[in-house]
A and B are shown apart, each in its own frame.
Chain A
Amino acid sequence: NAEAVKVGMILTYSGPNASLGELIDRGASLYVKLHGKELPAGTTVEIIKRDDTGINPDLAKRLAQELIVRDQVNILTGGQWTPNTMAIEALSKQAKMPYVVMGAGGSNVTWQEPYVIRTSFTVWQSSYPLGQWAAKKGYKTAYTLVSDFAAGHDAEAAFIKGFTAGGGKVMSSVRVPMKTTDYLPYLLKVKEANPDLLFLFNPGGPAATAFMKAIADIGITTSKIKVIGTGDITTDEELPNMGRAPLGVITVHHYSAAATRKANLDFVAAWKREYGANSTPSFFSVGGWDGMKAIFDAVRAQKGKMTPDATMAYLRNWSNPDSPRGPIHIEPETGEIVQHEYVRRVEERDGHLANIEIETLAATGDPEKQFKAKP
């Protein structure tokens, strides 16, 4: 009469985007490793991993379908890409299957979907406050340069809304195709426009490094143009690759590995023990960590006897006052995460670059939902 809870986790484990999947998986696995034993007697949790190979909603949906029908999981999780997540959500609604999203950042992910919560973030959550902050600091003109995909469009819209509301002026908004490898021509144009601010958004990873190097190469970092963006452009795992180019870049995000909160120090230490001193957790990892904690909390709360509706009722009111990123909770109406955002500057610490938190902004849910809710 042991209670076996099955968790189906769909992430990208192969292909060009495997690095992000690995970061989420490592965060989630670290939680399981450290706290996975803390369960009611007789209860076990089995995690079944599936590879969606990248942005591939058809496959993701099929995998979810199989996890539900074939493996009879109790909870679905993962959710690295917005399109994949959206495809799975339709299914989670049909099959009444709780779904914990650990990675995707598209606003509409949790939009009125009854069986979904999110432990990651939305792009609006960081870009909008950044716009407000920049306007408040007295910057007048901005140039936005975002990667041409859904999150990029969100970032552009959110920043512009925050910045212009505070009195700033956007000179030009350019979307860079995802397949681009050479950023110099775009930056050349930025340099000629000579704005106060260059707002950047890209999907992180190699693109972020390439962008940052190009910015340095063309001499923007040494000019009066201030480079700002969301945490994606200086992710903790890419910083070591960027040389000294990003020094002084300002970003707003909900997590920095360099944060000195106790919960984070412990988290980072555990991470380095587990994955090596050269490895650094990122905001994706913390999404995985918190997502897994939410799932285990739900299992503990129901003593392993899982029903979809009880699980959802619990998850919708879940909170973690002591997450590595500070206190977080889920907004019951939307399933959306509410968290603090931090203004950070890239500085040198112990011979390495790090995102140093310099200011904490008030905790919010997803600003876009709030705008939409008020017609």
Chain B
Amino acid sequence: MSSTLINILFFGLSYGMILYMTSVGLSITMGLMGFVNLAHGVFAMLGGYATVTLMNSLGVPFFPALLAACIMVTVLGFVLERLLYRRLYGATELDQVLFSMALIFISVAIARIFWGPLAQPIALPKYLHGHIDLIGATIPTYRLFLLVFGSVVAAALWLGFDRTLFGARVRAAVEDHAMAEAVGINTDRLFALTFGLGTGLAALGGGLGAEILAISPGYPLQYIIFFLIVVAVGGLGSIKGPLYASLIIGLADTATKYIMPEAGMIFVFAFVFLLLRWRPQGIVSRRKG
């Protein structure tokens, strides 16, 4: 019985960590920068494709491939930010929605042209395969790895954003662009940097999550709801929020699947519904000081 509990806890948390890894980039571009970037999944998908292609076609090992993919997508993020995104910083959220949907359409088509309609297989290194048996519980190695890796990323982000003024500057620039400039913040560079970081993280999430959220041209549309839920439940502009949100949703999802498999998705949505009714600004919100 207790091994079941451990299992649920572990699977829930590790699934939550997958949600976190794939969504945290959005909590930066959308939560911090205030850009309704529905195209977040595009960067995650490209990260996944780049990782897979480097591994399968060029034989690059997993971690170097992941790193290279992040760098490539970050660069792409920079370029897109300079060319396109920055034109819409001042636009209404509706225009941003339209813009990011356009990007999704384009990238879906391009991914299909280059990689075909099928999902891309990702061959993880041997040592991340299979499972470890721990006091009667079966623990898939990769999930354990994700749990550790995700914690490290979360800690790094927290140190980088909450403990420095970087995050405060970004929020200031988002809230009042003109005034932020007037106190000496180079908003242009700041946004480019932040956006690059957001896309880089998206790519990382895409590559790491590829095992569970399969990389195919439909990716940006298929998982958009997951990303949005995490950011909404976590709370805009917070760095810790999305982590808590992911873990809570991961746990709740896992527990309902185990306890009431018939319930299906209804319970997950009901759960999110209740969470948001309870705390409309998200779990960690900047609204309530």
Contact = CB atoms under 8 A, between A and B. Distances in A.
A177 interface: yes
A181 B14 CA distance: 13
Contacts, number: 107
Contact of B262 (A22, A175, A191): A175
B264 interface: yes
A19 B143 contact: no
Contacts of B109: 14
Interface in B76-128: 108-109, 112, 116-121, 123
A148 to B, nearest CB: 6
Interface string A4-24: 000000000011111101100
B140 A210 contact: no
Interface stretch (B24-32, B152-160, B179-187, B251-259): B251-259
A181 B261 contact: no
Contacts of A181: 212-213, 223, 226
B118 A185 contact: no
A309 interface: no
A209 B214 contact: yes
B204 to A, nearest CB: 18
B261 A186 contact: yes
B172 interface: no
B216 A219 contact: no
Nearest to B255: A185
Given A186-B257, A188-B258, A241 B131 contact: no
B223 to A, nearest CB: 8
Interface in A184-226: 184-186, 188-189, 191-192, 205-206, 209-210, 213, 216-219
Interface in A220-241: 237-238, 240-241
Contacts of B222: 16
A33 interface: no
Nearest to B250: A182
A126 to B, nearest CB: 22
B250 to A, nearest CB: 8
A174 interface: yes
Interface residues of A, number: 39
A327 interface: no
Interface string A254-272: 0000000000000000000
B142 interface: yes
Interface string B194-215: 0000000000000000011110
A148 B263 CA distance: 11
Nearest to B141: A217
Interface residues of B, number: 44
Contacts of A176: 261
A237 B222 CA distance: 21
Contacts of B130: 216-217, 219
A286 to B, nearest CB: 17
A206 B211 contact: no
A18 B142 contact: no
Contacts of A374: none
A206 B119 CA distance: 6
A8 to B, nearest CB: 22
Contacts of B142: 217
A7 to B, nearest CB: 23
Contact of B217 (A16, A175, A217): A16
Q: Which of A186, A209, A217, A242 has the most CB of B within 10 A?
A: A217
A175 B258 contact: no
A36 interface: no
Nearest to B222: A16
Contacts of B216: 16, 19, 206
A18 B226 CA distance: 22
B8 interface: yes
B156 to A, nearest CB: 25
B138 A185 contact: no
A209 B213 CA distance: 11
Q: Which of A16, A22, A205 has the most CB of B within 10 A?
A: A16
Contacts of B213: 181
B43 interface: no
A209 B265 contact: no
30 contacts: A15-B218, A16-B217, A16-B221, A17-B218, A18-B117, A19-B118, A22-B117, A174-B262, A175-B262, A181-B223, A181-B226, A182-B15, A182-B253, A182-B257, A185-B11, A185-B254, A185-B261, A188-B4, A188-B7, A188-B11, A210-B212, A210-B214, A216-B130, A217-B130, A218-B138, A219-B138, A237-B118, A238-B118, A238-B119, A240-B121
Interface of B: 4, 7-8, 11, 15, 18, 108-109, 112, 116-121, 123, 129-131, 133, 138, 140, 142-143, 211-214, 216-218, 221-223, 226, 253-255, 257-258, 261-262, 264-265
Given A181-B226, A209-B121, A217-B143, 7 more contacts: A16-B217, A18-B117, A175-B264, A188-B7, A205-B118, A206-B119, A241-B119
Interface of A: 14-19, 21-22, 148, 174-177, 179-182, 184-186, 188-189, 191-192, 205-206, 209-210, 213, 216-219, 237-238, 240-243
